[in-house]
Amino acid sequence: MFLDWQPHQSKEYDDMLSAVRERLDRPRPPEGGLRELWRHCGELGLLGLCVPAEDGGGGRSALDTAHLIEAFGRGCADTGLVFATSAHQFACAVPISAYAGDEVRRRLLPALCDGSFIAANAMTESEAGSDISAMSARAVRDGDGYVLTGTKSWASNAPEADVFVTYAVTDPTAGFLGVSAFVVERGTAGLSVDGPFEKMGLGTCAAGSVRFEECRVPARNLLGEEGEGSAIFQHSMAWERACLFAGYVGLMDRLLERCVAHARERRQFGRRIADFQAVSHRIADMKLRLEAARMLLYRACFRLDRDEALPMDSALSKLAVSEAAVQAAVDALQIFGSRGYLVSEGLEVVLRDAIPAKLFSGTSEIQHELIAKGLGL
Amino acid sequence: MELAAVIEEIDGYIRKEFLEGDASVELTPSSPLLEWGILNSMNTTRLAAFVSERYDVTVSPKAMRTDNFRTIENVAHMVLELRDRPEA
């Protein structure tokens, strides 16, 4: 059982943290500068950490991938960028890597890994969030291709994306197992995108809706086999719920460092505020939640690497990390007092960026359900 | 354990857990569980957890396919196959 990092893994983490701090640590991209930032991420290898090396990626395990995403989340103040690039990697590059045919892999993956392309995962519909069986988008086989019809209501990166991974029903008699997965490229006739939506946080991660109107894609753009969409989606969610949320673990590390430094320096009533147990114990609880969440995340990755992961593993990890991240942001605001309430302090944006962690990739309520169902309840 | 016995146990589990004992549903080993909506994603996760524990098998994400869950017979065949060939 894994319990700590090897020296070479720690060095890789330290190197990535330094590089991220040097090149990516800014709260928002400059106007029109997202593509440049994306290429920086590609140069650092952050867009294809777990994609096989022959496809242009880093060929890393889930555990090593999460460790480096953790460094990204710790070193980069723009959690929206961490979220956007991770959604690109885990919900798009991962399923393309695992399920696409050779031609699609060769054409798309190197560009997704080096930052030339941005990818969006178009799964959610207005009446079908976590309930895949309610999906209304349809794909009908027509000669050497499929014709897609339907609207996806929420797709991270969609307004900027060059490539979309999407899901549609190919067998209406098979419920949620009648769903298939497809790759659709921008410029395909019948594909249109709305947005970006105005959101409360994750500003760099533009989200929008995606519409398919008699949108014809070649059969080679089918991922896996017909009816395999649900399994492909679960596969990408297992990666996303484990590795994307490693960014939030890094975010919590950064918050903890700031809170410790502030509690040591700030003086009230002639003492450091760290000398008041109300403050020091709050920070101790931040550390406790962080480390517990981190270990659950590592275990989910450990099992993912051994092909032993159950839905409960990533659900436990995602639930622990997201709930701890929101609580850490609230704790930090409290510890910083009125100063923390100032926008210029950069803590309010951390809270706004942490809240969606409990909503995306399945709400906390859905994670509880997955855990309960995994227990046979 | 024979196929018929596995079918009977899975039938009993589905009736108790998903149909809540509703005897009016004419459930047979070949009833289309997915088409009838008896198996949605959550119920399939529960059923997979049940067979994993009951028959000591691992239902991997790759095994979550239509041909493994369309009917009770399909589920039972998957269980026996997983028990004989865990990598299936």
Each residue's pLDDT tens digit, A136-148: 999 999 999 999 9
Instruction: Clarify whether A369 is annotated catalytic.
Output: no
- pLDDT value of residue A252: 98
Q: Are B64 and A133 an interchain contact pair (Cβ–Cβ within 8 Å)?
A: no
Q: How confident is the model at residue A234 (pLDDT cuts 50, 70, 90)?
A: confident
Whether B87 and chain A come into contact, CB under 8 Å, resolves to no
Helices (H), chain B: 3-17, 41-55, 66-69, 72-84
Average pLDDT score over chain A: 94
Confidence of residue B88 (pLDDT cuts 50, 70, 90): low
In Å, how far is B39's CA from the nearest CA of chain A? 8
Residue A268 DSSP one-character state: E
Contact indicator for A290, A253 with CB cutoff of 8 Å: yes
The H-or-E segment that residue A331 falls in is helix A311-336
Q: Are A183 and A221 in contact (CB under 8 A)?
A: yes
Query: What are the pLDDT digits (tens) for A271-327?
Result: 999 999 999 999 999 999 999 999 999 999 999 998 877 788 999 999 999 999 999
Percent of chain A with pLDDT over 70: 99
Question: Is the Cβ–Cβ distance between A91 and A78 less than 8 Å?
Answer: no
Q: Does the pLDDT at position A41 exceed 90?
A: yes
Distance from CA of A338 to the nearest CA of B (A): 44
pLDDT at A26 over 90: no
When divided into structural domains, chain B yields a total of 1
Question: A276 versus A132: which is more confidently predicted?
Answer: A276
d(CA A319, CA A339): 30
Higher-pLDDT residue of A41 and A177 is A41
- The DSSP bridge partners found for residue A164 are A120, A184
Domains of chain A: 7-118 (1.10.540.10), 120-227 (2.40.110.10), 245-374 (1.20.140.10)
pLDDT given for residue A365 in this prediction? 95
Note the Cα B49 to chain centre separation in Å: 10
The closest alpha carbon to A119, from A138, A133, A104, A132, belongs to A104
Q: What is the CA radius of gyration of chain B?
A: 12
Burial of residue A172, with CB atoms counted within 10 A of its CB: 0-12 exposed, 13-18 middle, 19 or more buried:
exposed
| Among candidates B50, B53, B65 on the partner chain, residue whose Cβ is nearest the Cβ of A177 | B65
Q: Residue A171: left if φ>0, alpha if ψ -120 to 50, beta else—which one?
A: beta
Task: Please answer yes or no on whether A376 and B39 come within 8 Å at the CB atom.
Answer: no
Among A94, A176, A223, A234, which would you mutate to test the B interface (most chain B Cβ atoms within 10 Å of its Cβ)?
A176
ipTM of this predicted structure: 0.76
- Chain B nearest CA to A70, separation (Å): 26
pLDDT of A128 reads: 78
Confidence (pLDDT) at A49: 97
Structural domain containing residue B58: 3-84
Q: What is the CATH number of the domain that holds B78?
A: 1.10.1200.10
B28 touches chain A (CB under 8 A): no
Q: What is residue A1's predicted lDDT score, i.e. its pLDDT?
A: 62
pLDDT in tens, B35-78: 888 998 888 888 998 999 899 998 887 788 888 999 999 999 99
Residues present in chain A in total: 377
pLDDT at B22: 75
**Rounded distance, CA A41 to CA A32, Å?**
16
